[in-house]
Structure 1
Amino acid sequence: MASLSLSRKKNASRNAAVERKNLITVCRFSVKTLIDRSCFETIDDSAPEFLNFASILEQILSHRLKGQLTWFGYESPRSFWDYIRVACSKVSHSCICSIENMENVSSSRAKGRAWIRVALMEKRLSEYITAALRDYKTTRRFYDDGAIVLGEEANMLAGMLLGLNAIDFSFCLKGEGLDGSYPAVIDYTPYLKFTQSSDSISSDEEELRTLGSSGSESSTPENFVPPFLDENSWYNKCKKSEQKYRLALEQKGYLEELVRLREVQLSDSVTQNKLLLQRIKDIELNHKLEKEQLEYIIVELQDQLKTFHRLGHLSADASLSQISFDPGHSHDGKLDSSRLTGGKEETPSLLGLCGSLTSVASYKSLTSLKSSECLASPTTEMTSPGLTPS
């Protein structure tokens, strides 16, 4: 049991070493293809060489990256931008703060991809990587054992990226390449050779001829060669066949892995498509409900408005009928003076007389005229003392 676990550990370490070596080798190839492409045209987001290089660099910086422990003890995934943001914070005139404050970039992975593009346009990508690798304490805190940035391959990576300073890049920081929801997938196809040269074909044909001739000549005892005399040639042929078999097996494994990645991407796209369709249906349903509610509210408001108009007309008719049936009011709402005077027209003299008679002062003047001091009646003159009738 102990030997089995030990062999598993050895196999795991060997696989990790092979993975690191392959990533560094592919990164070297991608840098070379980028330099070759830049001789003919400007490198931008649409260049497949750049997209492949960005995916390779993202895979290298994310190799054996530790997760972030939450409050409850669970480990959540982390992006390489968290490491770059801390390790490159002391670089003078860095773009870390500007990328951290970008409004259209929200996720950590998208910020890391934006940092790669900005660093390439500034021609300082190698400088950032070198500064991050020098902070060994921070690097050790973010990565597990066996990571590329903790091994000897890290120094090779910084040296390879130095050649990219000779390329003028032009990127848009609002494109689809900054979408953090899609993983970085490396396309190994440009770095594989599936061509079969004429030399190999001729060598295979020659091997078949030699095998056939040896089989045909074996019937003749005079030309028979014992197997032990030609042991080296058979050993070399077996070695070549074994190498070809391993190469074909590796290519087959790569193609199977590529198909698996494409299937995962397809399933993710189908799932996202279903989610988007369900979201569209929910939005349409909500819009329909809101429209029905608004139409119902409009109908209610119209009914209330009609009711208010009907009540206003009824109150106006009631007031008019009350005024028309009031005997003390005329058609224009004023008192009818002809009813008060018995239908006769009043003259100014009569009005003045009536006013003088009804006033208190005129009443007092009439009583004063009736007094004995001012007026003499015939009876008083006849009965007054000292006077006799004639």
Structure 2
Amino acid sequence: MASLSLGPNLSRKKGAARAGLVERKNLITVCRFSVKTLIDRSCFETIDDTSPEFVNFVCILEQILSHRLKGQVTWFGYESPRSFWDYIRVACSKVPHSCISSIENMENVRTSRAKGRAWIRVALMEKRLSEYISTALKDYRTTRRFYGEGSVVLGEEAGLLADMLIGLNAIDFSFCLKGETLDGSCPAVIDYTPYLKFTQSVDSISSDEEEMRTLGSSGSEASTPETGGSTLLLDQSSWFNKCRRVEQKYRVALEQKGYLEELVRLREAQLSESVSQNKALLQRLAEADLSHKLEKEQLEYIVLELQDQLKSFQSLDQLSADMTLSQTSLDPVHTQDLEPKPGRSRWFSEGKEDTPSLRGLCGSLTSVASYKSLASLKSPECLVSPSTEMTSPGLTPS
């Protein structure tokens, strides 16, 4: 019984290993085709982010680097998904003059997937993508820690991958690492349409025409009574082989039709997502425009207020200057300066005597001599009023 149970398990494991081998070979083959088409396209036009050959190459490379990538086991025992950038960041840390640190410090690239895509573009512009891949594959311990059994980077096809990427050093790439193109939420999907061949050889066309002719002739012969016996003698094996070939061609056409329909559905989903993102961006642009207009109006209002305040300050300064000028004109010190000087007045030009001013007669109130002179003028010895003269004894009116 144990041997019977081991038989299906062994066959299942062999089938899984065979399927994994076919998958790895297909990825490497498609990658070689994409590199060749990318080099051919670079001879006629510049390669940028919008080139379909470059987009398909990046999708293939992401699929290869993400093939059977292990998840990160958290402290609670759950396995969180990883990106190939986590492996490249650790495995390529010893590359001299690498761009790993500069990509880590980029502000507009935040997610792990976006950093991995930015690394691919920077490595292509530096013409060192093959060097990064070969250095990462040489670190076998790190590669085993990040990838599981049956992955491309752990298989024999890994050396072919590093060799075929050397041809990309002949292309001068130019990419823009700004914007939201690197943070795409949609997964990388490979487009196999450029690598499919829908041509039909001349031999197959002739065989199809012969089969149709045989079927028509057999039908016509079956309809005539003279050849009714001959139709019973037809070889059944030939009919079986013809039907089998027709069925095989029908299945191939049906598979191609299903693939194309799936590709159309994927493109429609991407188109709807792009339309929704475009609407969101237009809404954000309208909101930003409205906020800018409001800020502009507020700034204009503030400028007008500041101009009014400046005008009021200038009027106040003018008023204070006028008041200061009027005070200085009323000050006695300045009035003395404004008095006519000797030799300049019209009266002095005519030769008249100097008329003493009131201040010259009275003197300064602060000086002691002038104060004594005023006291002497007020004493009764020098000044005699008419009333005292009339009433004083001993004096008779004349």
Contact 1:80 1:112 (C-alpha < 8 Å) held by counterparts: yes
Q: Deviation of residue 289 (structure 1)?
A: 1.6
Work out the CA distance in 1 between the residues paired with 2:328 and 2:164: 104
Work out the CA distance in 1 between the residues paired with 2:328 and 2:132: 96
How many residues align structurally? Answer: 338
Q: Percent identity?
A: 61
Aligned twin of 1:366: none
2:156 counterpart SS class: helix
Q: Does 1:61 align with 2:62?
A: no
Aligned twin of 1:370: none
Contact 1:55 1:186 (C-alpha < 8 Å) held by counterparts: yes
Contact 2:25 2:157 (C-alpha < 8 Å) held by counterparts: no
Q: Deviation of residue 110 (structure 1)?
A: 4.8
User: For 1:263-319, what per-residue CA distance to the aligned partner results, in whole angstroms no more than 9, with x for missing partners?
Assistant: 222122212211221121121121122122223223333443444455556666777
User: For 1:109-129, what per-residue CA distance to the aligned partner results, in whole angstroms no more than 9, with x for missing partners?
Assistant: 454345445655777645543
User: For 1:47-91, what per-residue CA distance to the aligned partner results, in whole angstroms no more than 9, with x for missing partners?
Assistant: 654443333112211234345567898876543222112123345
Call closer, same or farther: CA 1:262–1:134 in 2, change over 3 Å: same
- Report the residue type matching 1:159 in the other structure: L
Q: Deviation of residue 321 (structure 1)?
A: 8.1
Work out the CA distance in 2 between the residues paired with 1:21 and 1:255: 22
Larger CA deviation: 140-149 vs 351-360:
351-360
Aligned twin of 1:158: 159
Work out the CA distance in 1 between the residues paired with 2:115 and 2:368: 106
* Partner residue of 1:213 out of 214, 217, 231: 217
- Report the residue type matching 1:259 in the other structure: V
* Partner residue of 1:106 out of 71, 92, 109: 109
Aligned twin of 1:169: 171
* Partner residue of 1:222 out of 226, 229, 232: 229
Call closer, same or farther: CA 1:43–1:169 in 2, change over 3 Å: farther
Contact 1:114 1:173 (C-alpha < 8 Å) held by counterparts: no
Aligned twin of 1:345: 355
Q: Deviation of residue 179 (structure 1)?
A: 4.1
Work out the CA distance in 2 between the residues paired with 1:353 and 1:173: 96
Aligned twin of 1:269: 274
Q: Deviation of residue 205 (structure 1)?
A: 1.9
- Unmatched 5+ stretches in structure 2: 1-8, 340-353, 376-398
- Report the residue type matching 1:162 in the other structure: D
Q: Does 1:278 align with 2:283?
A: yes
1:149 counterpart SS class: coil
Larger CA deviation: 273-282 vs 292-301:
292-301
Q: Does 1:24 align with 2:36?
A: no
Larger Rg: 1
Larger CA deviation: 253-262 vs 216-225:
216-225
- Report the residue type matching 2:98 in the other structure: C
- Report the residue type matching 1:297 in the other structure: I
TM-score, normalised relative to structure 2: 0.65
1:148 counterpart SS class: coil
Aligned twin of 2:98: 95
Work out the CA distance in 1 between the residues paired with 2:175 and 2:30: 26
- Unmatched 5+ stretches in structure 1: 1-5, 338-343, 364-390
Work out the CA distance in 1 between the residues paired with 2:94 and 2:130: 15
RMSD over equivalenced CA pairs, Å? 4.9
Aligned positions of 1:233-248 closer than 5 A: 233-248=238-253
